[in-house]
Amino acid sequence: MRRRLIQSTLAVVLVVIAVFGVSLVIVETRTISSTAQEKVDLEAARLASIVDSRLLGTGRVDPEILRQQVADDRYAVIRIPGRPVIEIGDRPSGEVIRGRATGEEGETVVVEEPRSSVTREVGRTLVIIGLVALLAVVAAVLLAVRQANRLASPLTDLAETAERLGSGDPRPRHKRYGVPELDRVADVLDASAERIARMLTAERRLAADASHQLRTPLTALSMRLEEITLTDDPETVKEEATIALSQVERLTDVVERLLTNSRDPRNGSAVTFDLDDVIQQQIAEWRPAYRSAGRAIVCSGKRHMQAVGTPGAVAQVLAALIENSLMHGGGTVALRTRVTGNQAVVEVTDEGPGVPADLGARIFERTISGRNSTGIGLAVARDLAEADGGRLELLQTKPAVFGLFLSRTPPPKKTDAAHTVR
């Protein structure tokens, strides 16, 4: 990860340097060229002014005086009507920068400067820009290394925490890193660790209770069955079978009581979460299946809604509804979100024929199943919704519209009484 962070930072810096560096080189080159041209033009105008003053004064133009007014690397040609041409300096070879001026007495002054001087100035500018770019790259590397170490080390630590959590050690570490995003991950991991610890405690308690409560009925039932296998007397067999049946009934009652005591819908797993995240995740998972069927799945409605529940359970409910629309519906499937009172509502509808009239009232019964369905079933989906304090309803039969209602306000915290099975 450190290498990726450094490479990405360097890539961004190099792109910025390339864009701004090229632009700066172009601007500086044009500026230097225009400045050189302005200097030559000013030199020509100044020489023309000097010639004018001489012609209006003494009428004599001294080449030696003019030579002192021209820079060593420039060449000047002065043409005065009716007089010989005056040349000052050496005529440059190659490309030149030429400036021209005309005096009031009709004289013409041409000043030339080799373009190589401009090239040298541009070269010096490029060297300076290159050095600045190199310093920027070095600074970017140092900052990238520092930032990579600052981010990678906490992420490695968080990965170790997650690995330890997955290996069965749910102790929260309560360690923070000074980075809001990473601290948020650490908060979630600590909260998950606490929930897992509570769940493991409940599971261990349930296992212990089940072991204690089931051992005696199973032992007694085994003894009765052994009595049946060892006797040939029909009356004895009938009597022992009757007793065994009563023990089976008691055993069933024990199992039901254990499951009832261990099943608590408000076990602390319900949290406030972003409903959009769950919806988008489900759409992303089901879109390939809809695409293969030549259909589409879309979402609309109110965005960024917060709901209270278990994200995994809500995802299973939506998956059941989406799969039901895929198997039994038609056309585009739409997930619409809205708010009614203090509840967030997710409606799932399609363009199919809808729910048959004879199944409308029984759609959530466990005996009602679709063809080759791989979902969790509408009955289980309704149970999951109710376990989170919500509800799942069939709002419309043609076309079918299912509504998942979830609370938007966290339930008040309360202390549950401990269930003890003796």
pLDDT over 50 at 212, yes or no: no
Which range is least confidently modeled, 35-49, 199-213, 280-294?
199-213
- From the candidate CATH numbers 3.40.710.10, 1.10.287.130, 3.40.50.10140, 2.40.30.10, the one assigned to the domain spanning 180-262: 1.10.287.130
Mean of the per-residue pLDDT values for the chain? 78
CATH topology of domain 271-407: Heat Shock Protein 90 (3.30.565)
Query: Count H helices, E strands: the chain?
Result: 8, 11
pLDDT over 60 at 401, yes or no: yes
pLDDT given at position 297:
92
Instruction: Provide CB contacts within 8 A for 281, sequence distance 6+.
Output: 315
Residue 376: pLDDT band with limits 50, 70, 90: very low
Q: Is the Cα dihedral 392, 395, 399, 401 positive or negative? A: negative
pLDDT over 90 at 213, yes or no: no
Say which CATH architecture domain 2-118 belongs to: 2-Layer Sandwich (3.30)
Q: What is the mean pLDDT of residues 137-165?
A: 78
User: Cα 372 to chain center, whole Å?
Assistant: 36
Helix (H) or strand (E) holding 122, with range, is helix 116-166
Instruction: Provide CB contacts within 8 A for 153, sequence distance 6+.
Output: none
Which range is least confidently modeled, 101-110, 202-211, 365-374?
365-374
pLDDT over 90 at 345, yes or no: yes
Domain boundaries, the chain: 2-118, 180-262, 271-407
Q: What is the mean pLDDT of residues 138-167?
A: 77
Q: Give the span between the Cα atoms of 259 and 207, in whole angstroms.
A: 11
Q: Give the span between the Cα atoms of 221 and 361, in whole angstroms.
A: 42
pLDDT given at position 348:
94
Q: Is the Cα dihedral 5, 10, 15, 17 positive or negative? A: positive
Residue 333: pLDDT band with limits 50, 70, 90: very high
pLDDT given at position 254:
53
pLDDT given at position 191:
83
